[in-house]
Amino acid sequence: MNLEGRVACITGGGGHIGAAMGEALAELGAAIVVLDVDADHCRDVAESIQRDFGVRTMVLTTDLTDENAVRSVPRVVLSEFGRLDILIHCAALVNSSNLAGFTSPFAEQKSDVWRMALEVNLTAPFVLTQVCADALAASGHGSVINIGSLYGVGGPDMRLYENTPMGNSSAYAASKGGVLSLTRWLATVLAPRIRVNSITPGGLWRNQPEAFHQRFVARTPLQRMGAEEDFKGAAAYLASDLSLYVTGHNLVVDGGFTTW
């Protein structure tokens, strides 16, 4: 499995999962474009990847709610590297986002936050894939990887959240369900020159309240919550030629949570 000479652009690349996926592809030789709204996080991740794996990196500070900025991405990447092979949509507003009215009880969830979640989680992947499609197809190795969610596959078990300050967002669930549907749609429309798949992560350990943690682990056959390292193999598989005959697939990496 070798990605030398290929270029991967990862939205949300400054975050924990995005950075881990960048490391996985860099270890295989890919150049990495770290795209995120936080310039400092982008720079830290890009410098770390370049230092540890000796590959070229690029920082692309981009607000995914700004469509003009999103549409400029392939032009900037091509001017630097001359190609784009892999596109990973990792950026998202998630249930742990500190937004008023996002994970409140349903009666208190806000439509403006709903719209923001759809803009970042669903519209941005649509637009960015659309504008990058020609470059991905031209590379001969075009692979798009969308990041789904357990809550795009099934509804939340609200018993996990009892007596904790945590909540669950309808906008997050709806947008991630849309991402999985978009994956299937794009997989047929962009075939045969571009493969489009998704990864659905299980619950990630984020120092949640112990009551939530214990309940979640009890519902997970592998008896733990996920860590960033758990998604590296999935990203490497779907980005590389190991998955040349795989498209439209949702690879669930959840410790067995959804098998009950």
- For residue 192, cis peptide bond before it (omega within 30 degrees of 0): yes
The low-confidence residues of the chain, meaning pLDDT below 70, are: 95-97
Give me the chain's average pLDDT, please: 95
pLDDT at residue 103, as a whole number: 86
Active site residues: 172
In this predicted structure, what is the pLDDT of residue 97? 67
Phi, psi of 98 (to 5 degrees): -90, 70
| pTM for this prediction | 0.95
Q: Which domains does the chain have, with CATH numbers?
A: 7-259 (3.40.50.720)
